Amino acid sequence: MTWMLVALVVAALWFSVRYAWWRPAIDWRKPRVLMYHMVSEPVAGAKFNGLRVSPAAFERQLRWLRDHGFHFATMRDLMEGSVPAKTVAITFDDGYQDNYTNALPLLQKYGAKATLYLVVDRHERDWSTYKKAHHASGELMREPKLTDAQVREMVQSGVFELGAHTLTHANLPTLDGEAKAREVHGARQQLEALFGVPVTSFAYPFGIFGDADVEATRAAGYSNAVTTVDGIDAHPYADPLRIRRVKISGKDNFLAFVLRMRSGRRGL
Ligand SMILES: [Zn+2]
């Protein structure tokens, strides 16, 4: 029987390290800002499946949030004063077409809201290479992106707030001041002109930014900006141009989602 006990202990240890279930929940008065990219089925052999949350998994997450009394907010909502405990802000980066075909109907079904960080010049552009030249697989470039008509409908539905993600998904710290301003401020101007709504929320592409990029974001008139740093910040925000998020990965199971809602990160 000893081997069974050993196996049980090993399994319990693995489970504990994998999910860090003992970590206490972060104060529920701190809003959770969730980061998504695509709501679509994984693609066999693809590199970026972490960015693909299946529609079934997304629906299960929305149902859990609703059934557990969470309040859905946009990033602008988070900037307009206090929010109730258990507030969640769902965000989507880049502008994949499935945000319209798959995410919008599910968000409507569960009475949820979200913020879309749209790249202005998003079609036929392989921005993975701006981070690392050897990422030239074209995988994300081939993913269909939202058309302007789809974005308009998403915004007019009242479900989505429109936020900016630069003109070209730029790697901001590599740009000089002028190019930085064009990417950050230009994106806001173009989105506002195209869609006729105020754009005050921003996401740093790749989550890569330095102090000069934060300043460019402030100078461009954004009231808030999100990063890809894992975490859950106190609210109202001490530094609303460096808001941390909770990564929702297509590679995680449902238990991992619930634990991330509690602690903001996965495992150890
Ligand atoms: Zn992005």
Residue 88 confidence (pLDDT): 98
More confident residue, 14 or 17: 14
Mean pLDDT of all residues in 124-139:
80
Separation of CA 266 and ligand 1 centre (Å): 21
Separation of CA 41 and ligand 1 centre (Å): 19
Separation of CA 94 and ligand 1 centre (Å): 5
- For residue 26, the 8-state DSSP code is P
- For residue 145, the 8-state DSSP code is B
Question: Residue 113's closest CA among 148, 163, 147, 149?
Answer: 163
User: What is the average pLDDT value for the chain, to the nearest integer?
Assistant: 94
pLDDT at residue 154 above 60? yes
Per residue in 78-128, pLDDT tens?
999 899 999 999 999 999 999 999 999 999 999 999 999 999 999 988 888
Dig out the tokens for 231 from the structure. Answer: 């975490």
Per residue in 30-52, pLDDT tens?
999 999 999 999 999 999 999 99
Residue 266 confidence (pLDDT): 67
Question: Residue 265's closest CA among 227, 155, 249, 54?
Answer: 249
Q: How many residues does the chain have?
A: 268
Report the predicted TM-score, pTM, of the whole model to 2 decimal places. 0.93
Q: How far is CA 38 from the centre of its chain?
A: 10
Separation of CA 10 and ligand 1 centre (Å): 39
Separation of CA 206 and ligand 1 centre (Å): 5
